[in-house]
Amino acid sequence: MKQITIEISSKDKNKRLDKFLKEYQAIPFALIQKLIRTKDIRVNGARTSCSYLLQEQDIISIKYVVSQMPLTKRKPNENLKNSLSDVVKQRILFMDSYILAIDKPYDIAVQGGNKIKISIDDILPELKFEYDEAPKLVHRLDRHTSGLLILARTKEIAQIIMKLFQEKQIQKKYIALVTGKPKEDSGILKMYIKKNTFGNVEKMSEDSDGKESITEYRVIQNFSDKASLVEFSPITGRMHQIRIHASECLNCPIIGDIKYGGKKSTPPILSNCNKLHLAAIEIFIPNIHGKKYHIECPVPEHIQESIDELTKLFH
């Protein structure tokens, strides 16, 4: 089968394979990750992982079926970059010589992909401050999930943090406003989930061939039996994990989550159900060169407005 090849130069050394390829507009990021998993994208002729760190003179091969369009460098609009950069700089929660913590706005993607005009990844060079190198992404939030996003300020720190994530030593907490009232006030949610296609929609669903997903939860506050404020602590890091656990395990979909909750996710008692009511609000990092971190993020405005509205209705 025909294919194209890309040889890695010194300037791209130590970049993740998927992040390197996502810079090319012809291949959406989600498709890149899928094609790496299905062996349609290889490095030096061998199957590899999305997180593989490229080395100088590595040869990436891409099957012809993926590469019929010319590979062109994705160039975000400069006005969009400047605007997002200004917003993010105003939303810095914490910064030291190792990490940068930001409050990611709602509806802003962390990385580029199909139909994404601008992302946090695009403005990393604007967040160097006194450093010569741009900060690095070490984890992701969904586009419609607001809140706490950690950036590593150097490659060395990025490697440390990513290893801590892999070893499940970093703890993250999210809050969500869900419909209904969970039967139990706390517990552990487990499912085997996998991305499947339903008509024209791709989403995670329960599947015995999928990967195990585990989330701890506790109810912070009930608003009668109509809605609940819930804290979620993911043990694993699967795509849309909290959203599917809320909908399928608790039978309490997150407000605004049409994809997993359908009409049930838009209760008529609330005036603003258009936005996903899920946010990353807290992170614990146990050890970066002997330093511990506990960083918190404020509740997003749209979630707080709904909490206030429910409080008036039921208290």
pLDDT surpasses 50 at 68: no
Residue bearing the bigger pLDDT, 114 or 312: 312
Name the DSSP letter for residue 27. Answer: S
Strands 278-288 and 146-152, how do they pair? parallel
pLDDT of residue 25: 47
Q: What is the pLDDT of residue 40?
A: 84
Residue ranges of domains in the chain = 3-63, 78-166, 172-314
For the chain, percent of residues with pLDDT exceeding 90: 60
Q: Please tell me the distance from the alpha carbon of residue 213 to that of residue 239, in angstroms, as a whole number.
A: 9
**pLDDT value for 236:** 92
Residue 114: predicted pLDDT: 66
User: Is 103 among the catalytic positions?
Assistant: no
**Residue 299 in tokens:** 């509740």
**Once rounded to an integer, what is the mean pLDDT over residues 182-201?**
90
Mean pLDDT of the chain, nearest integer: 89
Which SS3 state, helix, strand or coil, does residue 88 take?
A: helix
Asked if 7 contacts 58 with a C-beta cutoff of 8 angstroms, the reply is yes
| CATH code of the domain made up of 172-314 | 3.30.2350.10
Over residues 278-285, the mean pLDDT reads 98
Segment 130-151 mean pLDDT: 94
DSSP 3-state of 62: strand
Query: Any idea of the CA torsion for 187, 106, 109, 296, to the nearest 10 degrees?
Result: -60
Task: Give pLDDT tens digits for 253-273.
Answer: 999 999 999 999 999 889 889
CATH 3.90.850.10 describes domain 3-63? no
Which residue has tokens 């602590």?
233
Least confident of 21-35, 75-89, 111-125, 130-144: 21-35
Q: How many helices (H) and strands (E) does the chain have?
A: 7, 14
The C-alpha atoms of residue 73 and residue 23 are separated, in whole angstroms, by: 6
Q: Which two tokens stand for residue 76?
A: 């975000």
Q: How many CA atoms are closer than 13 Å to the CA of 139, on its beta-carbon side?
A: 28
The pLDDT of 143-167, averaged and rounded, is 93
3-class secondary-structure state, position 308: helix
Among residues 18, 142, 209, 308, which one is catalytic?
142
Average pLDDT, integer, range 123-143: 93
Q: Which residue has the higher pLDDT, 115 or 263?
A: 263
**For residues 57 and 60, what is the distance between their CA atoms, to the nearest angstrom?**
9
Position 35 pLDDT exceeds 90: no
CATH number of 78-166: 3.30.2350.10
Mean pLDDT of 159-182: 94
Instruction: Assess whether the region 78-166 and the region 172-314 belong to the same CATH fold.
Output: yes
pTM > 0.75: yes or no: yes
